[in-house]
Structure 1
Amino acid sequence: MALTRLDLRYGASVRGIWTNVLGRVNRSFTGLGSWRDADVRAFQRQALPIILAGERQIASLTASYTEQLYRDANGWGPRVSLDMDSVTGTALRGVDPVEVYERPFKELRAALSNGASLDDAVTRGAHRLETLAKTDLQLARTHTVREVAADMPRFEYTVRELQGEYDCALCMIASTQRYHKRELAPIHPGCDCLVKTVTADYDPGQVIDEERLERIHELVEEALGRHDRGGRTVDYRKIIVANDHGEIGPVLGFAGQRFTGPDDINLPT
């Protein structure tokens, strides 16, 4: 599916929010000067309202975007009343954001305890912060799509649209699939793919872009040196799965991965 002008406008607006939120919270974290317990609270007082405001902006944009998609497809569309508290903040993970945003400090301290320099430890903490914030901003989008599409009877499925100049293999595989609208679109930390609703009078099947999927399989085969493609001894569609992470929902990963806690989600991006 080609990106429409509506998709591009929406994507640009969301990226603008990402850039603003991530830049501000990063400066807040790296500019602390010290990262002791008192600094944790100071950071949270400054950063959490910024992150929540970003989530709410993305939820509002996504609701309007999804409604417009429905109107464009059907000539009319219901006005959906979205409960912001159900698609932002604690609702995204089932965990208080205060607890979530202590994790960059834990990352920093763990690095120091393992002999890292302060500069390196701060960099690692900042990276963890960026991953957390990106994930929450994307969750606000996927939760909103699910909530809004629930009131749109002709929208049955969602698909993933790639919008970056470079996209990871996980997202590329997922972009060839369709998902039921009642399910959260699987993500990985840092994922920024566009989630689109689809009007379908019939189930198109799990694979919606066989040609792209086959090309990805060929590239994987070339990279891994597997030559028994015709025999299907390796089905690469089974390499990519949606693991159910207990906190953030479906997460894209490799078959066989299991998560024991929030620290175990450092997937490739």
Structure 2
Amino acid sequence: MALTTEQRRALIQAEQAARQQIRDRLQNYANLYWTGLGSWRDADIERFVESLVPRVQAGQIAVAQITDAYLAAYTDSPAAGVIDLSNTRGGVTLEEVYHRPATQLYTELSSGKPFNIALDIATARLLGLIATDLQLAMTHQAQASNMGGRKMYQRTLTGRENCALCTIASTQRYYVKKLMPIHPGCDCGIAPYTGEDVQIINEELLEATHSAIDNKLALNDRGARNLGLGKTTSQGKPISDFTDLIVTQSHGEYGPTLAWRDHVFTGPQGL
């Protein structure tokens, strides 16, 4: 039985809230443990990583379960079951990943930063890594979950951390067979899409986002507009296909990742 608009909205909100609860709980634990170490020597870091990694893995499984159940309910399809999440970072282990905040801390200190500032930077990186690993669990599970034969989906915005990149992406249609592009720290969700098979599915939001970028960055020439080739919204406003503003690039650990075209990724050691 097809869900009503209100039922779909309620499902999306419940799924987002459940994922956010897992993320908050895990980040709070990591933050308290990390900032309370008192000493950040090798032995301390090893204890921290040994404690955190199983919790991240449990968080990933929980997010995958939520994603699978949500998509099953949204599409009135049987749940597919949680997939193997041991390789969401393309062969890089979580043990390697969660040594990176310590490396960041040492790097900042060696550059002359005061300890409190260096620790803040390393802590921010730690919390971003956790957010990314939970998001990777969602995207990998979504790709494997049963969606009742549906082939397309769209990005859902939570309103908490939706940068312009996410907002622009939410105006596009994606195919299920492709891993949903993300950026580090992204908290967007997904929903099956059953509308017309066109690339741009929300022209008004796309235009509004472009205008906001123009106002914020004082861009007088929105070059990508020219790619619209005279196409307009129902209000006669020009639109763009954004191929010069947003692309999917290959990233060694995350898989396909949304980025501005001129963005150059660092290697895994920089993430």
- Rounded to whole Å, the distance in 2 between the matches of 1:186 and 1:18 is 19
Task: Specify the alignment match of 1:250 in structure 2.
Answer: 256
Q: Deviations over 1:16-48 (max 9, x none)?
A: 111100000111111111111111210011111
- Rounded to whole Å, the distance in 2 between the matches of 1:16 and 1:231 is 38
- Rounded to whole Å, the distance in 1 between the matches of 2:168 and 2:81 is 33
Of residues 44, 47, 51, the one that matches 1:46 is: 51
- Rounded to whole Å, the distance in 1 between the matches of 2:199 and 2:135 is 23
- Rounded to whole Å, the distance in 2 between the matches of 1:147 and 1:236 is 28
Q: Is the 8 A contact 2:108 2:118 kept in 1?
A: yes
Task: Specify the alignment match of 2:205 in structure 1.
Answer: 212
Q: Deviations over 1:110-157 (max 9, x none)?
A: 0010011222221111111111110001110111100114xx452111
Q: Is the 8 A contact 1:90 1:97 kept in 2?
A: no
Task: Specify the alignment match of 2:123 in structure 1.
Answer: 126
Q: 1:118 to 1:224 in 2, by over 3 A?
A: closer
More displaced stretch, 223-232 vs 136-145? 223-232
Per-residue deviation, 1:196:
1.4
Tell me the SS of whatever aligns to 2:171: coil
TM-score, normalised with respect to structure 1? 0.86
Of residues 215, 223, 243, the one that matches 1:222 is: 215
Task: Specify the alignment match of 2:235 in structure 1.
Answer: none
- Rounded to whole Å, the distance in 2 between the matches of 1:93 and 1:26 is 26
Per-residue deviation, 1:218:
2.4
Q: Deviations over 1:42-78 (max 9, x none)?
A: 001111111111111111111100100110xxxxx23
Q: 1:124 to 1:183 in 2, by over 3 A?
A: same
- Rounded to whole Å, the distance in 1 between the matches of 2:100 and 2:169 is 29
* Alpha-carbon RMSD: 2.3
Per-residue deviation, 1:236:
7.6
Q: How does 1:72-111 map to 2 (within 5 A)?
A: 77-83=77-83, 86=84, 88-111=85-108
Q: Is the 8 A contact 2:102 2:122 kept in 1?
A: yes
Q: Is the 8 A contact 1:28 1:46 kept in 2?
A: no
Per-residue deviation, 1:190:
0.7
- Rounded to whole Å, the distance in 2 between the matches of 1:156 and 1:80 is 16
Task: Specify the alignment match of 2:172 in structure 1.
Answer: 177
Q: Deviations over 1:174-225 (max 9, x none)?
A: 000011101111111111011112245xx52111111111222222233444
Task: Specify the alignment match of 1:74 in structure 2.
Answer: none
Does 1:10 pair with 2:15? yes
Q: 1:90 to 1:36 in 2, by over 3 A?
A: farther
- Rounded to whole Å, the distance in 1 between the matches of 2:188 and 2:75 is 19
Q: 1:69 to 1:231 in 2, by over 3 A?
A: closer
Q: How does 1:45-64 map to 2 (within 5 A)?
A: 45-64=50-69
Show structure 2 runs of 5+ residues with no match: 228-239
TM-score, normalised with respect to structure 2? 0.85
Give the residue type in structure 2 aligned to 1:128: R
Q: Is the 8 A contact 2:224 2:241 kept in 1?
A: no
Q: Number of residues paired by the alignment?
A: 253
- Rounded to whole Å, the distance in 1 between the matches of 2:157 and 2:56 is 24
More displaced stretch, 165-174 vs 109-118? 165-174
- Rounded to whole Å, the distance in 2 between the matches of 1:180 and 1:236 is 17
Q: 1:91 to 1:220 in 2, by over 3 A?
A: closer
Per-residue deviation, 1:227:
4.6
